[in-house]
Amino acid sequence: MLGEMHDVLHEFPELEGKIDEMRANNATFATLMDTYDGLDAKVRQLEELGTPVADETIEDLKKQRLLLKDQLYDLLRA
């Protein structure tokens, strides 16, 4: 949906302290977070600006974002 927040803190507010800790102390987690944040910003920009893009393209970006979110969540719960 347009304008929805999908950043990791909004998705997992109960894990905010763990997210901050892992971002500061786990290079793999920090890299995944940076990639996720960049991808999320790109999806939001495409949606909010109404940039002409194929439906498949935006759906592929959203699937990539979901895979990254799953990887981040797995690391947070480990």
State whether the Cα torsion 70-71-74-75 is positive or negative: negative
Is the distance from CB of 23 to CB of 33 less than 8 angstroms?
Answer: yes
Cα distance between residue 57 and residue 38, in whole Å? 16
pLDDT in tens, 14-28: 999 999 999 999 999
pTM, to two decimals? 0.85
So where are the chain's domains?
A: 8-77
Residue-wise pLDDT for 29-69, tens only, equals 999 999 999 999 999 888 888 778 888 998 999 999 999 99
Q: How many C-beta atoms surround the C-beta of residue 68 within 10 A?
A: 19
